[in-house]
A and B are shown apart, each in its own frame.
Chain A
Amino acid sequence: MSGIEKSPWLIHYDASSCNGCDIEVLACLTPMYDAERFGCIVTGDPKQADIFLITGSVNHLNIPVVKNLYEQMPEPKAVVAIGACAYTGGVFSECYNISGGVANVIPVDVYVPGCAAKPESILDGVVRAAQILAEKRKSLKVSQREKRKAMKKAKRVKGGAKAAGGQS
């Protein structure tokens, strides 16, 4: 256990949301809901974040920003798409400038329903994402171990081939 689920640090980005969901995200930090109970810290730095909270339908101008933030986060990472807009584009889905949901730009792990999403369900989504992070971390470790093994094997085979080449 790496304990990543005990300290999920968040980064919050508003990708052309109407701000309704963002107000609810901020409400999660208030004494009423207190996201810090779960060890959450909202950082502003993607390099220090584990979970990406994203609201809104993502328009064409902020696609590079969303991708940039996502790519700067270290592995393992989880994305929580908050609200109807982040799911399908919501009431804006027919607009000419809308990509129609976060999943069209970056992979999403948890969808939080609602318009606007309730703070309770956002917290629920964050806790679920923290569990997914723990699972991802486990599989990442396994895949790294396998990679290392495969590399060692490849080296051995290569070395063997060289030795054989030297003899002939």
Chain B
Amino acid sequence: MARLELSNVSKSYGAFDAITDVSLAIEDGEFAVFVGPSGCGKSTLLRLIAGLDPISDGAIRIGPDDVTRRPAGTRSVAMVFQSYALYPHMSVYDNIAFPLQMERRSKGDIRQQVEKAAGTVQLSTRLKDKPSKLSGGQRQRVAIARAIVRKPKIFLMDEPLSNLDAALRIEMRTELTQLHKELGATMVYVTHDQLEAMTMADRIVVLNGGRVEQVGRPMDLYHKPVNRFVAGFIGSPPMNMLRGKVKAIESEYYSFEAAGIGTIVIDGLAKRLKIGEEVVLGIRPEFLAPHPAGSEPLVKIGVVPRSVERLGAQTIVHSVIEGQNFTCVFAGDQVVEPGRALNVYCDAANIHVFDAAGITVSRN
């Protein structure tokens, strides 16, 4: 196991900058998740760490070693691919044994290590089968066994669960988290699914347009997003965004005029906004309640539900305010009817304020 450090890493394909000046450190034994929308550069960054593509600028260190110019096979990293990338002509045993065979280990040692790795992923009875005889979940386990058998310093996983069905994905998510605990390994995991990121990560790296938007623990990203992009990306359903303007500033109270809602007063914001400045107000759907409750000051918002989704434990209410989608998440048994107006309430302390550039206005 080892620490992974990226220093000013950039990758360009001609005039296109896929990764721009990324610097971050992933600690020994940490489970880091790279998350972001399609094309944000998360898989590219993983490939740069693996050595599958050369970097254009910067440096990569694994433990004490600068591996920037080292070929893929000598970096002591193992990767689990989205497609599993199992060798279809080899048995499960040979697939798992392949990296050890490349190290020219003895047959006895290889057998011992393969059986141990297969046992870890519960595949001991399928060692003679070809990958084509296995289910998607079992193939994924073979890929994981092939990665762990090498005892690499860093595990890289490129959307490893995206080809599995929903139920199996949840099961494998738990198993991977468990495996991480057992191995105590440094893992870098790429996904576009923020739910996977939130449930599995020690720390999340949010990427957008080849740049790191924010690095932090899951609940820090949820509660304290540094900008509008992170706020909108982390959380499901996504945060409601309402356009507004600074109407008045009195002492530490800011008064905003929000489109379609009216005046909202928020206190405790950093004093860097000016009267008349355009802002976006962000409210998480799960912080909206159908009844006034909790501490003051409460913000009241009138909505007309367009559709209602009943998920059992939750009821999701979709509406539109001034052309913007506005979603509320209530308890599962909440009575809501489409077309019938209702007021929803939110604690002003739970409203995020973003300036015109999309940067979060922090609270004192």
**Do the two chains bind?**
no
Which residues of B are at the interface with A, using a C-beta cutoff of 8 A?
A: none
Which residues of A are at the interface with B, using a C-beta cutoff of 8 A?
A: none
